[in-house]
Structure 1
């Protein structure tokens, strides 16, 4: 597999020749492949995504949080999120910004996320 992605703070590549831009729903759907390795649920259903902004230039800014401030897999989740969104047509760069306010809590999870957690034995 030879994808050329720079997964630094801003990822460049995937120039769109057709001129179409993804919408927020498409970005969120693409992020459903990104999972916290410590929790068997994707970042969208966990309620970790706080915002998605898409510019006309194909820059996608994602504001998200993690389940804890000291999460040891922050860089992995950032990289996975960047790669997932870069696969969308029209995306030229992805920026992932982690914020800690408001803090994450289980109440932010979707009903599907809560159901998945219960299937894995968590009391949600």
Structure 2
């Protein structure tokens, strides 16, 4: 039971960390922007993040996933971190949170 609580707490910390990483072209964090499709934590506290970019030609296509991976690895309790980029489904503005849309004046 304690392992489940730790995993849940770790998941919350991962989301808090993701909310500190911003797309350099859009002043919204990658989590609220809808770039993070899934966060998986296994029983060994290895983290896998499935995410996308705003476009395949995104200028930070190389650096953003590395930044995500490095910041997640620094979280206490994380034993390993891996970021997988996918473009299926492609990112659209519909994936943005209401908060992100409001911040960008889209509501």
Normalised by the length of structure 1, the TM-score is: 0.74
Alpha-carbon displacement from aligned partner over 1:4-25 (angstroms, at most 9, x marks no partner)? xxxxxxxxxxxxxxxx544333
Kept after mapping to 2: 8 A contact 1:33/1:84: no
Unaligned runs of 5+ in 1: 1-19
Partner Cα distance (2:20, 2:40) in 1: 19
Counterpart-to-counterpart distance in 2, 1:45 and 1:75? 20
Unaligned runs of 5+ in 2: 1-5
Report what 1:94 is aligned to.
Answer: 81
**Structure having the higher Rg:** 1
Instruction: Please report the TM-score for the alignment, with normalisation by the length of structure 2.
Output: 0.85
Matched, 1:82 2:57: no
Deviating 4+ runs (over 6 angstroms): none
Cα RMSD for the two superposed structures: 1.5
Mapping for residues 43-54 of structure 1, pairs under 5 Å: 43-54=30-41
2:102 paired residue number: 115
Q: Which residue of 2 aligns with 1:72?
A: 59
- Aligned with 2:28 (options 41, 58, 63): 41
* Structure with greater helix percent: 2
SS at match of 2:62: helix
Measured in 1, the distance between the counterparts of 2:11 and 2:35 equals 15
**What is aligned with 1:15?**
none
1:78 deviation in Å? 0.9
Aligned equivalent of 2:3: none
Number of residue equivalences: 101
* 1:106 and 2:96 are equivalent in the alignment: no
Q: Tell me the distance in 2 between the aligned counterparts of 1:36 and 1:45.
A: 10
